[in-house]
Amino acid sequence: MIKLYQFETCPFCIKVRKKLDELNLNYETVEVSRDRAKRTKIKELSGQIKVPVLEDSDGTVVYDSSRIVEYLEDNY
């Protein structure tokens, strides 16, 4: 399943959730810590610590909301 690493209230994350919903995709959200030092998982996945980060079911990882939206439009 698609995983979205996010902050619930982050406008960039809301933009990505809106696109996921618009495309009727099933996804799970993972709430990321506000503590930068604890963002090891997204750092490991994407090489940076900002949200949103999307991990697709095939292992593809995309970060930056505009790039994620583009990826979803291109692939779904």
Ligand X SMILES: N[C@@H](CCC(=O)N[C@@H](CS)C(=O)NCC(=O)O)C(=O)O
Binding region for ligand X (CB under 6 A): 7, 10, 12, 36, 49-52, 64-66
Find the shortest distance in angstroms from Cβ 76 to ligand X: 19
Find the shortest distance in angstroms from Cβ 64 to ligand X: 4
Encoded amino acid at 44, one letter: E
Find the shortest distance in angstroms from Cβ 25 to ligand X: 18
What is the number of helices (H) and of strands (E) in the chain?
3, 4
Which position has the token pair 């790039």? Answer: 67
| Closer CB to ligand X, 2 or 49, in the complex | 49
CA–CA distance, 49 with 69 (Å, rounded to integer): 19
| Closer CB to ligand X, 2 or 10, in the complex | 10
DSSP bridge partners of 26: none
